[in-house]
Amino acid sequence: MTRVLLIEDDPAVRRGVALGLRRGGHEIEAVATGEDGLESLGPFAPDLVLLDLMLPGMSGLEVCRRIRATSRVPIVILSARGDDIDVVVGLEAGADDYIVKPAGTEVIEARMRAVLRRVAPSQPGPGERNGPLVHGDLTIDPEAVRVCKHGTELTLAPSELKLLLFLSASPGRTHSRRQLLEEVWEHSYYGDARLVDACVKRLRSKIEDDPRNPRYVQTVRGFGYRFGPL
C-alpha cells in the first residue's frame, strides 16, 4: 500500500483521483490547500505527494519548494498547465515528474510506480561494485543510497539521486537524453527531455562547486550527459 498525499483544490478532481487511487489499494490523504498539505506532511508521512500547481493561497510551486527543502519524498505534479515553461518551472522547483490533467488513474499509478522505484535501493548485479565511489570531494554510496560532499550528506530528490547513481556507475560514458529517460524516468516519449535537463540543473546546484562549470555532470553538446572527465 502506498501512502499518497493529494493536494488538489478542485473538489471534483480531488474526489475522482482519490477514489481511483483508493480502489487501487492506496491510502490517500486529500487536502485542498498548500498550507493543509504542508501540515499533513509530517503526521501522514506519505510515500509520495501528488501536487496541483494552481492552488488558492500558497502556490503549488511554493509548496513544492518547501517540501523539497527538507524532504526527499517523491513529488509528482498533477496540473492542467502543460506548457513547456510550466513543466520546466515545476521540475526545477523540485518535482520528480509532471502529469498533465486530465489523466486517468492508470496513467497516474504508472508514473507513481516509476517514481517510487527510483527511491528503492537498487541491488548490484553479479560482479558490480557496490561500495562507496569517491570522486574528489564527492562520495557516492550506491548500497546505502546516499551522497556526501565534503563529508556532509546531501538531500537529493529521488530523480536527482537515481540520475547521479546511474551516470556515476560508468564514468566517462556519454548517455543520450532518451537513454536517461528510459533508465531513470522509465518513459521516453518526445518532449520529456525537459525532465532530464531540469533534473541535471537541480543536481548540479547541489553537487558542483560552480554549476556553470560542472566537474561531475558534464554536457555533451547535442547528445546528452556524462559523469566526470574522460
**Predicted local confidence at residue 127, as pLDDT:** 44
Closest CA to 15 of 32, 3, 2: 32
Q: Are residues 7 and 115 in the same domain?
A: yes
**Taking a C-beta distance cutoff of 8 angstroms, is the pair 114, 97 a contact?**
yes
Q: Which domain, by its residues, includes 157?
A: 133-227
**Taking a C-beta distance cutoff of 8 angstroms, is the pair 100, 80 a contact?**
yes
Q: Are residues 18 and 78 in the same domain?
A: yes
Our CA angle for 40, 59, 191, nearest 5°, is 105
The whole-angstrom separation of Cα 126 and Cα 133 is 18
pTM metric for this prediction = 0.71
Question: pLDDT, tens digit, for every residue of 30-77?
Answer: 999 999 999 999 999 999 999 998 899 999 999 999 998 888 899 999
Question: pLDDT, tens digit, for every residue of 66-115?
Answer: 998 888 899 999 988 777 677 778 888 888 888 988 889 999 999 898 88
Which residue has cell 474526489? 15
Q: Are residues 112 and 170 in the same domain?
A: no
Question: pLDDT, tens digit, for every residue of 113-129?
Answer: 888 887 665 544 444 45
- How many domains does the chain contain in total? 2
